[in-house]
Amino acid sequence: MSKNFSLRSLLVRPEVATFLMFLAIMIGFYIANERFLDARNIRIVMGITPEYIIVAIGIAILMISGEFDLSVGSVFALVPMTIVQMVHQGIPPWFAIFLGLMIGIIVGFVNGFITLRFGIPSFIATLGMLYIARSLTTVATAGFPPPFPHILPNELFVYQFELFRASLYWALLVAVVLGVMLHRSNVGNWIYATGGDQNAASSMGIKTGNVKMFCFILCGFLAGFAGMIQTFRLEAPLPSQGYLLELESIAAAVIGGVSLFGGIGTVFGAVIGAILIRFLESGIIMARIDAEWFRAGLGSLIIIAVVFNTYISRRATRIGQNKAKD
């Protein structure tokens, strides 16, 4: 009896559903083309995935706290562009990296400040920031994308090992550290409480404004850090980098079981969600389907994931209510 119950409670965990979806897609595309799971293809896909994983983790934690950030795609471009331009101005590479990452933190702070101070939806505050940061990136480009300064220590972040790039290990480090923070630390408990029910959380003495501000800053920092990794990998700072990434990272979080209403989600789910999207993209190409179908596939996946999770959480609640009636 107790074993049955634990299996049931495992199945109602949203990230388990995501993982099953992930397996289904991997097997499906493998059947369509065996080379989908070749070391070569895995190397290609996992070479670009870490950047998306890092952004998705930031978005997921912010969404769990009950807020959104639509500016991550723009920050993803602004931070590396600033780093590159600062190095061209003669600023030492490590100091430029430090200042660049600070910009991500500042953008996160401004997003949080505007949202919390003026009590407007973060959707709007960060939509504004999406345009502002993208515009700043283009301005910083000064009309022509600058060359990549090779004195930057990019190998440290993107060195290609046998199968994986260094960036994957950075992403795993971020996932483990933030996973422990979210699921094991008291800060994580406050984040879930704030997103789950802000009034209840503050009546229990949690400073919900500070918790949200922390999540905004973390999200901005991670978006900038991930953008830096992409520029280091491509060795080309592009003002268009990270275009539509904000929606894709929300998609990754949602596919990974993060609730749009806050209070639900895991770091693991966001990681799987991000990997799933990249393999979906690769699988469609490998299966010789027109690549334009990628977005249709992604769209369907989002809808299926949310419908499934809503169904499951309703069911879980109903189990509880029926039990109460006994």
Give the binding site for another protein (CB under 8 A).
Answer: 2, 5, 9, 180, 184-190, 192-193, 196-197, 199-206, 263-264, 316-317, 319-321, 323-325
- Closest contact distance (angstroms) between CB of 186 and another protein is 4
Nearer of residues 132 and 181 to another protein, judged by Cβ: 181
Tokens of 303: 């809808």
Which residues is 165 bridged to in the sheet? 160
Nearer of residues 33 and 189 to another protein, judged by Cβ: 189
- Closest contact distance (angstroms) between CB of 195 and another protein is 9
- Closest contact distance (angstroms) between CB of 114 and another protein is 25
Nearer of residues 148 and 214 to another protein, judged by Cβ: 214
Nearer of residues 152 and 193 to another protein, judged by Cβ: 193
Nearer of residues 138 and 202 to another protein, judged by Cβ: 202
- Closest contact distance (angstroms) between CB of 318 and another protein is 9
Nearer of residues 49 and 198 to another protein, judged by Cβ: 198
Assess contact for 104 and 79: CB atoms under 8 A. yes
End-to-end Cα separation, the chain, in angstroms: 17
Of 141, 178, 176, nearest to 64 by C-alpha is 178
Assess contact for 81 and 134: CB atoms under 8 A. no
Of 220, 223, 225, 213, nearest to 245 by C-alpha is 223
- Closest contact distance (angstroms) between CB of 216 and another protein is 18
CB atoms within 10 A of CB 90: 7
Give, for 304, the enclosing helix (H) or strand (E): helix 293-325
Distance CA 173, CA 275 (A): 16
- Closest contact distance (angstroms) between CB of 218 and another protein is 14
CA torsion sign for 188, 191, 196, 201 is positive
Alpha carbons within 13 angstroms on the beta-carbon side of residue 169 total 11
Nearer of residues 18 and 41 to another protein, judged by Cβ: 18
- Closest contact distance (angstroms) between CB of 208 and another protein is 11
Q: Is 185 left (phi over 0), alpha (psi -120 to 50) or beta?
A: beta
Q: Dmax over Cα atoms in the chain, in whole Å?
A: 73
